[in-house]
Amino acid sequence: MYIPKEYEMKDEETLVDFIREYSFGILFSQAKGAPHGTHLPFLIERDKEGQLYLVSHMSRANPQWQAIGGTVLTVFPGPHAYVTPSWYGAAGFVPTWDYLSVHAYGDFARVDDAEGLRSIMERTIRFYESGMPEPWDGRVPDHVYDRLIGGVVGFRIKIARLEGQWKLHQDHTEERRRNVIRHLRQSGREDARSIADAIERAMPASRPAE
């Protein structure tokens, strides 16, 4: 993705944590000159050698998996917010959009065996249930699991590259950024408040008064 230098997020652990938080991504691939995309929940895991993988599953009826070859792109959109120049308290500016996003590139490999598929489903359920007030224990009759596994295709993506864009008004003065933060926090949108927090985190530490 095109990333101006001032917006680039390079820290790998920050990118990994972001994918865990905003784990419902979009898998993009291309076949016969046509693009394909599927919205899916993803796990991000690291093996003993430190290699990162995305792990997920899709419906066996989805034609995308049958045509995937080579490198795929998975996009993880995060919070975003429209910013009006009327918040700046200064003339000569136009509207813009602040946002966080991560792109992951890597090679797609199917997981076809029943044991591997079951493991993917169990790990996925564990991950998402861990945030529930009363987590479901995941116990279902074997015939239900067998039917579920028969209808899905599991896969892993060996991550070759992660890209992160943190567009957070880094090219504006502290005063303008403070004005944007204040207005975003007054918004009723959770995304706007999340972007306000992200802008504040991205600001250089205030210098002590001299």
Q: State the CATH number of the domain containing residue 62.
A: 2.30.110.10
**Inside any domain, residue 22:** yes
Q: Can you tell me the mean pLDDT for 23-38?
A: 94
Separation of alpha carbons 71 and 157, rounded Å: 9
pLDDT at position 188 is 85
Separation of alpha carbons 171 and 184, rounded Å: 18
The winner for highest mean pLDDT among 15-19, 86-90, 120-124, 170-174 is: 15-19
Task: Give percent of the chain with pLDDT exceeding 90.
Answer: 80
For residues 46 and 188, the model is more confident at 46
For residues 52 and 66, the model is more confident at 52
pTM: 0.92
Separation of alpha carbons 124 and 41, rounded Å: 8
pLDDT at position 8 is 97
Q: How many CA atoms lie within 13 A of 180 on its CB side?
A: 30
Residue 45's beta-bridge partner residues? 53
Containing structural domain, residue 71: 5-78+95-171
For residues 181 and 208, the model is more confident at 181
**Inside any domain, residue 196:** no
**Inside any domain, residue 87:** no
pLDDT at position 209 is 35
pLDDT at position 205 is 62
> Measuring CA to CA, how many Å separate 51 from each of 48, 156, 157?
7, 12, 11
**Inside any domain, residue 193:** no
Tell whether the model's pLDDT for residue 208 goes beyond 50: no
For every residue of 126-140, DSSP letters joined together read HHHHTTSSS------
pLDDT digits (tens, 9 = 90+) for 194-206: 999 999 999 876 4
**Inside any domain, residue 186:** no
- Lowest mean pLDDT: which of 73-82, 133-142, 162-171, 176-185? 133-142
Structurally, the chain folds into a number of domains equal to 1
- Lowest mean pLDDT: which of 81-85, 176-180, 205-209? 205-209
pLDDT digits (tens, 9 = 90+) for 94-153: 999 999 999 999 999 999 888 999 999 999 999 999 989 999 987 888 888 888 888 999
**Inside any domain, residue 60:** yes
Q: Determine contact, residues 54/106, Cβ cutoff 8 Å.
A: yes
Tell whether the model's pLDDT for residue 12 goes beyond 50: yes
**Inside any domain, residue 197:** no
Separation of alpha carbons 157 and 107, rounded Å: 5
> Measuring CA to CA, how many Å separate 156 from each of 42, 67, 68, 159?
10, 15, 12, 9
**Inside any domain, residue 178:** no
